[in-house]
Amino acid sequence: MTAGRAPRPLRWLGALLVLYLAYPVGAFVVRVVDGHNEGWNVPGLWSALIVSVEGATISLAVGVVVGIPLAYALAHHRGWLSSAVSVVVQLPLAVPPLICGILLVYIVGPYTFLGQLSGERLTQTMYGVVIAQSFVSAPFLVVVARSAFRAVDPALGDVAATLGHGPLARFLRVDVPAASDGLRTGMILMWLRAFGEYGTTVVLAYHPYSLPIYVDNLFSSAPLSQAEAPTMLAFGVAVLAVVLIRVRLPARVRRRPVPAPLAPVPAPPKPVGFDIDATVGTFRLRVAHPQGSHRLAVVGPSGSGKSVTLRALGGLLGPDAGTVTYGGVDVSRIAPERRRLGYVPQGFGLIPGRTVWQQAVFGVYADPARAAWWLETLHLDDLLDRLPEQLSGGQRQRVSLARALAGDPQMVLLDEPFSALDAPVRAELRRELRRLQRDVSLSTILVTHDPEEAAMLADEIVVVSDGQVLQSGTCRDVYQRPASAEVGRLLGIDNLFEGVAGVDGVLLAGGDPVPVPVSVVMGLSAGARLLWHVPPEALQVRSGPPTSGANGSAVDFGPGLVTDVVDLGRTLEVVVMLASGLELRARALEVPDLSVGDACRVATDAEAVSVWSPPEVIETRGDPARLG
């Protein structure tokens, strides 16, 4: 069995179903070919076809107007009310059609309030046909459309909001086109179900005859051969509908002439400050940071609340998420579509069916001349008529960035913008973005789990975990003085440990003393909690006694055991487990001939050891002055 193919027993079972479904159709085709094609001249055939087509078309129009909005609402809301509505919508699928007809008679029959109000015109008329067909067929459209809307990437709506589009525009210009394949399938299924409806229609509107009722009467009063013509008509309509589902019209690209590129004018930086307290599902986010730099990075592990923080800063969680300031201006109550934002989500967030040029000018505030400049700057000017699926990952990322910048945003939100790219492309785009930050004074908020990316693209950093701030401040302060070993781990800082200050210039790490000069631990009383760090590049790993530093002083970490030797290409990394249980990582261009399991000693110059008291996590909640 080749990879990707179903097991043979499953294929045989599927073949049995295909045979069961195809055999009656084939038998009918054979009969038509060998028969006399009777029934075409029987009175009422064409009028019955017209009634079925007209009723199904009107029913579909009603379903589109009210069913698609209902499906959209059900797709975007959870809870008991949504569940209850879903059950009501699906009941006509479970109840037999004849019972559905009786239910409708109780509502619109001749002796009901609605029946009397309409002059008894809701039964035995075309109105009755439409009511019956709509009742049993609308659930098909709602169920399929709800699934189609749920499959749309939620980031598309967020992108459209930050680009200035209101809720109705997002529905019509983003969600409907993105769900168009599912919507078309649901519409055709609804039309076919209405076209072929019999049980409900025969109870509510026996007259005028629809095609199924016509065939039933013909079957009861005439030879079977007379039913060939209406059967062929119904079969032809069904084939046509199925073909329409599968047909994909080629996209027609129409683009106005691209204007001459116009470079952006450097704007005043917009430092960001925030005090967020929001709940998304079961996740609680409580983060705050005083206004400082206009280039901020939020770093943390997966599930820490980074993306939720970014959405809150963009107003995508609503006005009750907390306080947000851009350049000292409180924007908390301003809708995202009015904030002049640029947003680059994870996964690029390109709108299906739109070319590169259409993506770039999609924003309400987008300037075509500015869009042309960004597309040229990002080396996309030769790809203007390509669709998203015709672009590489790096090209899609550039399109997303150009679209975010085409409207001269006052703030650009970047959510893991390069995580899905290969290393060379990621490095190139990082450099490109850093250049743009410098050249046009871009104000950016970057979410990333990559500490190197944060240091390269931000002046300030906020480290978050489990929805809370572990530490925030300038990149230099946070990287040089992490608040805890956990912060150091999240920032990728090796050889960072917790310890206790001893006496006589000794720090205790893992219960063992590490001798360092008194000046290093000066000001720390004995027993004080501390953090200490030694760069991997400063460690010396030897199979014999440690070598003293240039100034004659060295810190000897004692004997250890080599647990790993890693060739990183340009450097070698040796992992050593000390007797105290601490694990040190040493890097150098050349390392003595050591193998896993070898005994060794580790030392470093005393000046390479940094020791500091853990800083307190900055608390700004309840102090609005810190946000200004």
DSSP 307-371: HHHHHHHTTTT-GGGEEEEETTEE-TTS-GGGS-EEEE-TT--PPTT--HHHHHT-STT--HHHH
> What is the residue-wise DSSP string for 530-569?
EEEE--GGG-EEESSSPPP-TTS-EEEEEEEEEEEEEE-S
Instruction: To the nearest 10°, report the CA torsion of 81, 85, 87, 93.
Output: -170
Distance from C-alpha of 138 to C-alpha of 60, rounded to nearest angstrom: 8
pLDDT at 526 over 80: no
* Of 467, 469, 432, 473, residue with least CA distance to 453: 432
Strand, helix or coil for residue 225? helix
> Which tokens belong to 104?
């409708």
Q: Is the pLDDT of residue 188 over 70?
A: yes
Q: Which residue has the higher pLDDT, 296 or 619?
A: 296
What's the farthest any 2 CA atoms get from each other in the chain?
115
CA distances from 290 to 244, 325, 463, 617, 624 (A): 57, 10, 14, 12, 9
Predicted confidence at residue 89, as pLDDT, reads 93
Q: Is 480 left (phi over 0), alpha (psi -120 to 50) or beta?
A: alpha
163 and 366 Cβ atoms separated by less than 8 Å: yes
Contacts 24+ apart (CB under 8 A), 319-322: 320/278, 321/276, 321/277, 321/278, 322/274, 322/275, 322/276, 322/277, 322/278
Structure letter (DSSP) for residue 590: S
Q: How far apart are CA 95 and CA 440, in angstroms?
A: 64
Q: What distance lies between CA 205 and its chain's CA centroid?
A: 48
Residue with the two structure tokens 């509510």: 204
pLDDT of residue 290: 93
pLDDT digits (tens, 9 = 90+) for 385-422: 999 999 988 899 889 999 999 999 999 999 988 877 77
Q: Rounded to whole angstroms, how far apart are CA atoms 181 and 77?
A: 22
In terms of pTM, does the model score above 0.75?
A: yes
At 425, is the pLDDT very low, low, confident or very high (cuts 50, 70, 90)? confident
Q: Model confidence at 584, in pLDDT bands (50, 70, 90)?
A: very high
**Structure tokens, 233:** 């008509």
The C-alpha angle with vertex 466 and arms to 462 and 467, in degrees rounded to 5, equals 60
For 264, list phi and psi in degrees, rounded to 5.
-70, 150
In this structure, what token pair is assigned to residue 192? 């076919």
Residues of the chain above pLDDT 70, percent: 90
Q: Is residue 585 within 8 Å of 495, Cβ to Cβ?
A: yes
Look at residue 618 in the predicted model and tell me its pLDDT.
40
Q: Out of 163-177, 252-266, 559-573, 575-589, which region has the weakest mean confidence (pLDDT)?
A: 252-266
C-alpha–C-alpha distance, residues 468 and 460, integer Å: 17
Q: Residue 79 carries which side chain, given as an amino acid letter? A: G
15-45 residue pLDDT tens: 898 888 888 888 877 877 776 677 788 888 8
- In 3D, which of 309, 331, 340 has the Cα closest to residue 161? 340
- Cα 61 from chain centroid? 32
Q: Are the C-beta atoms of residues 604 and 542 closer than 8 Å to each other?
A: no
Three-state DSSP class for residue 20 = helix
For the record, the structure tokens of 628 come out as 């200004």
pLDDT given at position 619: 40
Note the pLDDT tens digit of each residue in 333-370. Answer: 999 999 999 999 988 889 988 999 999 999 999 999 99
pLDDT in tens, 436-491: 888 888 899 999 988 889 999 999 999 999 999 999 999 999 998 898 889 998 99
Domains of the chain: 17-246 (1.10.3720.10), 272-480 (3.40.50.300), 535-608 (2.40.50.140)
Using pLDDT thresholds of 50, 70 and 90, give the confidence band for residue 4.
Answer: low
Let me know: does 300 contact 490? Beta carbons within 8 Å. yes
Q: 163 CB contacts (<8 Å, ≥6 apart)?
A: 337, 341, 342, 343, 362, 363, 364, 365, 366, 403, 407
Predicted pLDDT of residue 272: 93
Q: With bands split at pLDDT 50, 70 and 90, how would you rate the model's confidence at 5?
A: confident
